[in-house]
Amino acid sequence: MASIHIDNLHKVYAGGVQAVTGISLDVQDGEMIVLVGPSGCGKSTLLRMVAGLETISSGTLKIGDRVVNNLEPADRDIAMVFQNYALYPHMTVYNNLAYGLKNRKMPKAEIDRRVQEAATMLEIAPFLDRKPRNLSGGQRQRVAMGRALVREPAAFLFDEPLSNLDAKLRVQMRVEIKQLQRRLRTTSLYVTHDQLEALTLADRLVVLNGGMIEQVGTPMEVYNKPASLFVAGFIGSPAMNMISADYLREKGAVFPKSLPEGTDLIGIRPDELTLVPPTGDQLAVSGKLMLLEPAGAESHLYIHLEGSDQPVVMRVSGVPDMQDGQTVQMHAKVDALHPFSKATGRRTG
Amino acid sequence: MVENNRWGNFFAHLVLIIGVALVVFPVYVAVIASTHPSGTFLRGVMPLLPGPNALENYRTVIFEGRSRAGTPPIGGMLWNSFIMAMAITIGKLSISIISAFAIVYFRFPFRIFFFWVIFLTLMLPVEVRIVPTFQVVANLGMLNSFAGLSIPLIASATATFLFRQFFMTVPEELMEAARVDGAGPMKFFKDILLPLSITNIAALFVIMFIYGWNQYLWPLLITTDPEYYTIVMGIQRMVTGGDSEPLWHLVMATVTLAALPPILVILFMQRLFVKGLTETEK
Amino acid sequence: MQTKRSTFSNKWLPYALLAPQVIITLIFFVWPASQALIQSVYRQGDAFGIRPPTFVGFRNFMLLFEDALYLNSLKVTLIFSVGTTLLSMSVALLFAVMVNRMIRSRDSYTTFLVWPYAIAPAIAGVLWWFIFNPNIGILPYVLQGVGYNWNHRSSSNDAMILIIIAAAWKQISYNFLFFLAGLQSIPHSLIEAAAIDGASRMKRFWTIVFPLLSPITFFLMVVNIVYAMFDTFGVIHATTEGGPAQATNILVYKVFRDGFVNLNIGSSAAQSVILMGIVIVLTVVQFRYIERRVNY
């Protein structure tokens, strides 16, 4: 068990590509941090620097009280779960789990105890004699986790571990990882590009973009108060609607309080737009319904704002009785609005 | 499926059967000839049916040889060929796999330079630089030795190249997982990479063994002592060594014995051989 | 050139791993090749050391291209390589197309067609030399029946045909396996689409299958030419020995004769240098092909 201190970390590849630019982050002991962002945002590079698989160009990395910048991965007391599992195809499940322990010259009895324990915990005990190719995707995933588990490391590093699974299995494994982490309380860094995975798994999540941190916070903080246009667009699905403040004023929307200084964009989440007027301070806009997309328990309404053709998305429960092309009146509570500055890309209040 | 019609299939089988017959014919003739007494070849046409002398002919070539035609018993030559082929094969495989490992899994100064030095060997078959290579081997005192027969032939750009290609397809994460698991480079090589390469090694083994066994010009140049003659070059001495018409029944017995080991290797390891040739040699 | 995205960091280990290969390459490949380059621009000294080797620039090369024997050897090599390549590849393609139609018997036919690969060129030469033997050979006997008097000891044409057949026969297996692999990698849906478009079987072959095989055909062409030029030394040496009257004296054989029998080191070295040039060109062509495949 240990905390991880990341202080002003930089990664510059040979050839000058800047992958990570001055990231600082403190991971508390026992905390699960999810690094999320689009591909190329530097999240994997950051994780691999922590693992020791990429060299650190500058900055300091501490695991526990040790500076580990120049230690081999094996000496950092971390374990990693890879995207494609990276199981050794020619070894049995048992040997896959035991390999790292054998390399550390652990006594046979202790290896056996740990392997059996992890296998029981992950329900892979019946497969210990099989080769990875004879396992299903979900079972391989468990073996990969088991390999990390038996090490009893100071920290787990997860590199998009669920992205090779089908949708149903992904949800199931997500829940299991969460439960396991809760139980073991091992410090974890988890990389994903899936915002839903990030929201559900994280104690705190870190949104990365272009090699820099956009926002750090609990899932609800990040969802309810996105710090930038980028975060607002990335977290939440369908993405937040962005409407210019001038347009809203023009259409007669009355902002009861004056907007924070510099605000020229208003973000409204699709589910914060309603067909019936809510109580309290609110604003209303209308538009033309382009497409109604029923999705089971809810429907998505694709609407072009009146007089601007700007598309907005609404999420309503059930399937409303509407025709394509008809005019739709939309309402939103004023306290549900997210004010942003187009110029800085940041939230204004 | 676009159906085959019956006449088309009949025709295809016909073409193939005739084709197979033509392909097999030369070896069939050789085997038949090796079973006849010498008198059969003095006049008329070569026989197409087996004769009575198989045992005697094979006994003669294996144990006695034909001193008049300048050939020792071929038992020794077969052994020499085997040693040479195995030395070349194992040598090539070992030095190629470790150099490919170095080139793929390390980054170091002059890496590309070394790659090209090795690649040069692909460009320069022995045949095109015979005289200077012979001089080098002679100066090193390696004439008439197994070292001389094998070592100059074990540098292999092909095998290095193929192992490199294969290593590039091994998932990155496997090596990273091994590093996290505490395996250093040589441990990773021994525990992970080598077991994964087994099929490729076996496939290359087939091809390299045939290459080694069939060496001709090289042993011809550097062996003057019959002690070190190999079977393939020995045949030439039997054919052109005498002053009269070759002793065909003995030549063909030798040919059969010389061709047998590599043919057996191919037949028993056909799948590996096909894989080695068509998948890795591209 | 790529490596893995993360690599082991070890200062001396990669050099140690490369050392055996590089040392052998330097001693037995690079050094002799540079010797050949040097010798090719010198006239050799005499055996008693009285007259030292003298630098003669490109004279050895110029002499070669004025030498009727060398020009003849070039011509012979060209005919031999093209003949061997064409014969071997067309027969192999025919076999591959036929075998590819088969379902149950595919493996059995393949087994019968692959093993000549195992036969050394010298042995292939001896086998066909025996079959074509003017006194007792079966083929001259058959040819006599149709009024042709076969004798590869006196007829240049007969000798050339003999070595082409012997060299091509051995190479059929190789070409067959590559063509078969190529045919099997053509998606069946393409053939079916062409059939739906109304193309006959022959038309399907020439308009769909053959064009799709063209990368393999090209690759095999280079490989076969390299084979015919450099790997067939044994075929010649064990049978015709370049004769009759220089009719089968291909370049590789001539280098050997001039260097080892006639002891004309300068000329032999110059010939080696020319051959190296040819090999390098062919290899670069082939290498570009390999790289292209890898990139796909």
For C144-186, the pLDDT digits (tens) are: 888 888 888 888 899 999 999 999 999 999 999 999 989 988 8
Residue B122 pLDDT level (bands cut at 50, 70, 90): low
Assess if residue B1 is contained within a domain: no
Do B127 and B214 lie in one domain? The reply is yes
A97 touches chain B (CB under 8 A): no
Average pLDDT over residues A66-87: 91
Residue given tokens 């070849």 in the structure block = B41
Q: Does B247 touch chain C (CB under 8 A)?
A: no
Name the residue among B46, B95, B185 with its Cβ closest to that of C10. B185
* Structure tokens that stand for B110 in this block: 């002059």
Q: Are residues B129 and B269 in the same domain?
A: yes
- Claim to verify: residue B80 and residue B200 sit in the same structural domain: yes
A100 closest CB neighbour out of B182, B192, B196: B182
Q: Are both B82 and B63 inside the same structural domain?
A: no
Whether B139 and B223 map to the same domain: the answer is yes
Single residue among B21, B49, B69 that ends a domain in this structure: B69
| Stronger pLDDT, B127 or B23, i.e. the higher one | B23
Closest alpha carbon within chain C to B278: C178
- How far is the alpha carbon of B93 from chain C, nearest alpha carbon, in Å? 11
Instruction: Note the pLDDT of residue B70.
Output: 56
The alpha carbon of residue A183 is apart from the nearest alpha carbon of chain B, in Å, by 24
- Preferred mutation among C1, C3, C6 to probe A, highest tally of A CBs within 10 A: C6
The residues that bridge with A287 in the sheet, in sequence order, are A305, A328
Q: How far is B98 from chain C (nearest CA, A)?
A: 6
Q: B140 with B12, same domain?
A: no
3-state SS class at C106: helix
Pair B184, B260 in one domain: yes
Range of the domain at B23: 6-69
DSSP notation for A112-162? HHHHHHHHHHTT-GGGTTS-GGGS-HHHHHHHHHHHHHTT--SEEEEESTT
**Residues of chain A with C-beta less than 8 angstroms from the C-beta of B173:** 82-86
Find chains touching chain C: ≥3 CB pairs under 8 Å.
Answer: A, B
Average pLDDT for residues A141-151, to the nearest whole number? 93
- How far from A244 is each of A265, A301, B138, CA to CA, in Å? 4, 20, 87
* CA-based R_g, chain C, Å: 24
Minimal Cβ distance to B182: which of A53, A74, A82? A74
3-state secondary structure of A343: coil
B211 alpha-carbon distance from chain centroid: 2
Report how many domains make up chain B: 2
pLDDT value for C290: 62
Burial class of residue C133, CB neighbours in 10 A (0-12, 13-18, 19+): buried
Q: Among the three residues B53, B69, B85, which one is the final residue of a domain in this structure?
A: B69
Tell which of B34, B69, B104 closes a domain: B69
Q: Which residues does chain B have within 8 Å of residue A13's beta carbon, measured at their own beta carbons?
A: none
Burial (0-12, 13-18, 19+ Cβ within 10 Å), C72: middle
pLDDT digits (tens, 9 = 90+) for C115-126: 899 999 999 999
pLDDT at B241 over 90: no
With an 8 Å Cβ cutoff, is B121 touching chain C?
A: yes
Nearest-10 Cα torsion for A193, A195, A197, A203:
110
SS (H, E, C) C62-81: HHHHHCHHHHHHHHHHHHHH
- Report the distance separating Cα B144 and Cα B141, nearest Å: 9
- Residue A273 in this model has a pLDDT that exceeds 80: yes
What pLDDT digit, counting tens, does each position of B131-182 carry? Answer: 788 888 899 998 999 998 899 888 878 888 889 888 998 988 999 999 999 8
> Are both B56 and B86 inside the same structural domain?
no
Q: Does B157 share its domain with B115?
A: yes
Instruction: Indicate which of C10, C101, C112, C123 best probes the interface with B, i.e. most B CBs within 10 Å of its own CB.
Output: C123
Smallest CA–CA distance, residue B89 to chain A, in Å, is 25
Q: What do you get for the CA distance between the two ends of chain C, in Å?
A: 16
Percent of chain A residues topping a pLDDT of 70: 98
- Is B52 touching C (CB cutoff 8 A)? no
Least confident of A225-239, B106-120, C212-226: B106-120
Q: Does B224 touch chain C (CB under 8 A)?
A: no
- The sign of the CA dihedral B75, B77, B83, B85 is negative
Domain locations in chain C as residue ranges = 68-295
B181: contact with A, CB 8 A cutoff: yes
Question: Looking at residue B138, what DSSP letter applies?
Answer: H
Adjacent-strand bridge partners of A274: A331
* Residue A147 sits at the chain B interface (C-beta within 8 Å): yes
Chain C residue numbers with beta carbons less than 8 Å from the beta carbon of A53 are: 6
Q: Are residues B43 and C172, on separate chains, in Cβ contact within 8 Å? A: no
Judged by a CB distance cut-off of 8 A, whether residue A48 touches chain C is: yes
Q: Comparing B203 with C91, which gets the higher pLDDT?
A: C91
Contact A228, A346 (CB under 8 A): yes
Name the β-bridge partners of A319.
none
CATH of the domain at B205: 1.10.3720.10
Looking at the structure, tell me whether residues B124 and B151 fall in a common domain: yes
The verdict on a CB contact (< 8 Å) between C130 and B48 is no
Question: Do B121 and B201 sit in the same domain of this protein?
Answer: yes
Q: Is C228 on the interface with B (CB under 8 A)?
A: no
Q: Residue A310: its pLDDT value, please?
A: 87
Residues B115 and B214 in one domain: yes
Residue C32 has pLDDT above 90, yes or no: no
Contact present, B272 and B59 (Cβ < 8 Å): no
Find the residue in B nearest to C20 (Cα): B95
Considering the entire predicted model, what is its pTM? 0.84
pLDDT at residue B1, as a whole number: 42
From A85, A90, A147, residue closest to B196, measured CB to CB: A90
Chain C CB within 8 Å of residue B72 CB:
no
User: Tokens representing C32?
Assistant: 């002799």
Taking the Cβ of residue B270 and every Cβ of chain C, the question of whether any pair is shorter than 8 Å is answered with yes
Query: Cβ neighbours of residue A194 under 8 Å, at least 6 residues apart?
Result: A36, A162, A163
Q: Say if the Cβ atoms of B176 and A100 lie within 8 Å.
A: no
Q: What is the mean predicted confidence (pLDDT) over A12-32?
A: 91
C-alpha radius of gyration, chain A, whole number? 24
One of 1.10.3720.10, 3.40.50.880, 2.40.10.220, 3.40.50.720 is the CATH number of C68-295, namely 1.10.3720.10
